[in-house]
Structure 1
Amino acid sequence: MGGSQGISDRHACKAALARRFDKAAWLEGADIPARNLHDAGYLPPTPPLGVVRPNDPQGFADAMAICASHGVPVVPQAGLTGLAGGAQPIAGAVAISFERFSGIEEIDPASATMTVRAGTPLEVVQRAADEAGFFIPLDLGARGSCLIGGNLGTNAGGNRVIRYGMAREMVLGLEYVLPDGTLVTGLNKMIKNNAGYDLKQLFMGSEGTLGMITRAVLRLYPKPGCTCAAICGLARYDDVLALLGAARRGLGPMLSAFEVMWADYWHEATVTVPNVRRPITGDHAFYVLVEMQGMEAELDAPRFEAWLETQFEAGLIEDAAIAQSMADVAAFWRTRDAAGEFVTFLGRHSSFDIGLPVGVMDQFAQECRAALSKALPGCLSVYYGHIGDGNMHIVALMPGAAEQPGKAISEIVYRTVKAHGGTISAEHGIGLVKKPYLALSRSKGELALMRRLKRALDPQGLLNPGKVIDLEEAP
């Protein structure tokens, strides 16, 4: 893309896009909105060559084909809520935004499926399912602004993975655009379909590096008849593990969330962040949010309370509060979701999304906290997450520092993750930010196979280049 030939190709590409799309769909120069210059991470804004905003699948295919024919790279952009730089523009690339391709195309009650456009906000998908008498279990804090295509492209996790699995397990069919502009439609509605390779799995979790998801067929689930929740205070991590085992046995498939907050996180969430109510008093080493989704409140609510009483009698729980209403459930979740407001009340910080064997999580937290404090005296780090499915989140910062030592913090955290047999990314993806550390979680053979897939589908390296994996191994 360098030199006069590259400049000529970019000009020709812009001219072709301007001919194909109207002024509402093709933006360049001063017309590019500030939101399209970066995603939700801390990478500096980067103006793309232009932003194309198709409103139908063929528009996405045409935009990709035009860019491919001129050798111009493309960066797909969904809700721009990602934290790993996966939607970060690069200079000289065209950003393809899904914001104008939104809507529910069909709800099929007989097959219990919903066909959605990739630009539909997750919250809209959830609401449509609810109004139709069904349930979409995928849920995360950015539900109002993240788009379903981005959720699938990153294989989002969220709050209920312990019961329903990751985003890919909620998808039956996909439509996507390949790096050469080919539109592939596979909007399957059947749970059982073993007719050849399950191609959709290539694109979910690929972060837009192998193809752009345009439409999806989602599985719909029965709407829960009741939701029961409790916040529990525990003294030891062994008790947390015992409570998790008891919840799996005693609540079975109704267990929908098991969130654990270490005491350091609890303090910041309920003291530093205003308007977060503490459901229980006293100080505890661990705080656990247990949620159960049942079908009949008359039967399942007493069952949940009886299960909780049994855990008291077993000596696992020091104190607990049981939600008496959906308002209480929301208030309990607010303690867990308060992390989304840390940037406002703690300032700029490093945020981590890691996976670990559940049994070593507290050992990891202790060693990581000690390593950060030793290398960076005064460093604040807090620990919390979806522990029931092996996902821990970490927030770390130097309070009051004008410049945060993000790289030094990342090196310590990821080195400690590797030492405990974990993964550097449980649900947020790799993007640009975590790419230098990918080899800590993937073997040489796995990395080589990723490159082979990338070369096979995108031999020019035009689709979301520089993200996740490069075509060639770094020297």
Structure 2
Amino acid sequence: MSGATTDQTATAAKGEIDTVIAALRDALGAEAVRTGEAIGERALTDWTRMTPTRPAALILPASTEQVSRALAICDAARQPVVPQGGMTGLAGGAIARDIDVALSLERMSGVEEIDTAAATMTVLAGTPLEVAQQAAADAGFELALDLGARGSCQIGGNLATNAGGNRVIQSGTARDQTLGLEVVLADGTVLSSLNKMVKNNTGYDLKHLFIGSEGTLGVITRAVLRLSPPRRSRHTALVALDHYDAAVALLNTLRARFGNDVGAFEIMWPDFFDFGVSLTSHARSPFDAPHPMYALIEHAGLDPDDDGQAFSRVLTDALEAGALRDAVIAQSLSDARALWTIREATAEFPLRLEPVNFDVSLPIGEIGRFADACRARFKQCWPGQVSYYFGHIGDSNLHVTVDGRSVPGVSHEAIDRELYALLAPYGGSVSAEHGIGVLKRAFLPVSRTQAELQAMRAIKRALDPHGILNPGKLLPDM
């Protein structure tokens, strides 16, 4: 009789993990390694609210050197490691299994330098985005990256997922705001490319391998971020429109007039808008009547003396020309915040719904038609379904959220299949800004060719030959 039983295999595996944990404690100190109930709830799941899972251990290195030592130990033992940031992701990319070691960078937090001549910030990866934003503001600059999760999300996670947010139309994604990185590879090798120059044409720009790689190629430990002059005037308006194409026409009008001063252009279909209004303190729409489409617009300029008259005049002209149905222009900061509260209803989704979230991108001219086709398809499949449509159309991004409670007995995977089947003919992407993680892994071939996937696998094998970094995430069949 030969072969180990399942119980014997499990016992052997536990013994191996215990050996790794002991080695990590010796290398990092007991305070940096947690197991069992000492692992806090935040490490168990992200904003997807997927089934919480307690990793075999949670390590909290306090320096790049400790990250390097930890990964070298895990790589030698073939121990899987899952990097974790602020756990605000929406694709399951930072959720560990019970056989994994989770690696949190929360002890590696802080802004190390602001170079006023280069207009750059060097920041540790565990720094919350809001902390970095405030440090930039205190130094007379602006860190343009901005997300609703700014108080919880971390710079390392923002870069690992190439986060987008509300101002991509003006300042680009996290990738566009990054000049240099420090990264630890799976075997503990430290790649230090903390470049501050905009022009540095010296071969492969390695930082781009790791931005958007979701922790599958290396662990980001530091970043050099670009800073901008502060936008000293912000003017906000909520407008009502006849249809999606009218929103695109208005966006083009604003861009032609204000160029890069168009800071945000968020559209909301009535389903989402009404839901957002219901969550405001007064639960009352700023408009006297319902409309087919809404856009929340921010004009963000450099001139501190801009009183908003030019912005108001463009909207007034559009209203008189029939390009708008109605408009509400914020007269104060509190007015602007009240309008943004409607758009930021997404923060309530996990509390109010059983959300099945989609974050797709399409050519701007196709978004309206895709939304119509998606809504029609969902109603055909599940007549009682409830879904919400909204997005950042200036950067091609549409969000769709289905309330799982409205389709009882229907799996999330079944809803995924219906939406992504519609996406392919439009030439769209299955992920605009949330990443792939676990939830979209099987659907990555919708947006990437087999040749592209093979190239990605080759890069993964080259940088992480033992496959210890975030296994089971991002790449299908690997």
When the two structures are superposed, what TM-score results if normalisation uses the length of structure 2?
A: 0.95
Determine the structure 2 residue equivalent to 1:56: 63
Residues 255, 293 of structure 1: 8 Å contact kept: yes
What does 1:363-378 correspond to in 2, within 5 Å? 363-378=369-384
457 and 248 in structure 1: CA distance in 2 versus 1, 3 angstrom threshold: same
Equivalent position of 1:395 in the other structure: 401
Whichever residue aligns with residue 453 of structure 1, its letter is I
Work out whether 1:292 is the aligned partner of 2:292: no
Moved over 6 A (4+): none
Of 237, 242, 255, which residue of structure 2 is paired with 1:230?
A: 237
- What amino acid maps onto 1:232 in structure 2? V
Contact 1:235 1:286 in 2 (8 A): yes
Matches within 5 A, 1:306-455: 306-345=313-352, 347-399=353-405, 405-455=411-461
1:112 aligns with 2:119: yes
Counterpart AA for 1:22: G
> Which residue number in structure 2 is paired with residue 256 of structure 1?
263
Contact kept? 1:270, 1:276, Cα under 8 Å:
yes
Q: 1:68 aligns with which of 72, 75, 83?
A: 75
Contact 1:273 1:342 in 2 (8 A): no
Q: Displacement, 1:344?
A: 2.2
User: Of the candidates 260, 270, 276, which is equivalent to residue 269 of structure 1?
Assistant: 276
Decide whether the 8 Å contact of 2:386 with 2:406 is kept in 1: no
1:468 is the counterpart of 2:474: yes
1:5/1:459 CA distance change after superposition, 3 Å:
farther
- Give the conservation status (yes or no) of the 8 Å contact 1:276–1:335: no
Query: Deviation digits for residues 160-192 of structure 1, max 9, x if unmatched?
Result: 111111101101110010011111111111111
Structure-2 separation of matches of 1:451 and 1:230: 46
SS at match of 2:204: coil
- Classify 1:68/1:275 alpha carbon distance in 2 versus 1 (closer, same or farther; 3 Å): farther
Q: Is the 8 A contact 1:264 1:383 kept in 2?
A: yes
- The AA in structure 1 aligned to 2:141 is F
Which digits, 9 at most, give the CA deviation of each residue in 1:115-147, with x for residues without a partner?
A: 100000001111111111100111111111000
Q: In 2, Cα distance between the equivalents of 1:402 and 1:238?
A: 34
SS at match of 1:418: helix
Aligned to 2:45: 38
Alpha-carbon separation, structure 2, partners of 1:25 and 1:11: 15
Q: Which moved more, 1:304-313 or 1:108-117?
A: 304-313
Letter in 1 for 2:189: T
Contact 2:420-2:430 within 8 A present in 1 as well = yes
Q: Deviations over 1:367-404 (max 9, x none)?
A: 11111111112001110010111001111124466656
2:302 and 2:45 mapped to 1: Cα distance? 43
Distance (whole Å) between structure 1 residues aligned to residue 302 and residue 476 of structure 2: 47
Preserved contact between residue 256 and residue 293 of structure 1 (Cα < 8 Å): yes
Deviation at 1:272, TM superposition (A): 5.4
Compared with structure 1, are the counterparts of its residues 311 and 371 closer, same or farther at alpha carbon in structure 2 (3 Å cutoff)? Answer: same
Distance 1:266 1:99 in 2: 36
Deviation for aligned residue 1:275: 4.6
Structure 2: runs of 5 or more not aligned = 1-5
CA contact (8 A) 1:461 1:471 kept: no
Cα distance in 2, alignment partners of residues 88 and 19 from structure 1: 25
1:165 aligns with 2:142: no
3-state secondary structure, aligned to 2:97: coil
Q: 1:281 to 1:405 in 2, by over 3 A?
A: farther
Structure 2 CA distance for partners of 1:255 and 1:19, relative to 1, 3 Å: same
Read off the aligned partner of 1:113 and give its amino acid letter: T
Identity score, percent: 46
Where does the alignment leave 5 or more consecutive residues of structure 1 unmatched? none
SS in 2 for 1:221: coil
SS at match of 2:30: coil
The separation in 2 between residues aligned to 1:367 and 1:441, in whole angstroms, is 19
Equivalent-residue separation in structure 2 for 1:196 and 1:128 (angstroms): 32
Q: Which range moved further: 431-440 or 463-472? A: 463-472
Indicate which of 204, 208, 226 corresponds to 2:211: 204
Go from structure 1 to structure 2 and tell me whether the alpha carbon gap of 1:309 and 1:79 turns closer, same or farther (over 3 Å shift).
same
Between the aligned partners of 1:210 and 1:274, the Cα distance in structure 2 is: 45
Q: State the aligned residue count.
A: 471
Q: Distance in 2 between matches of 1:107 and 1:325?
A: 32
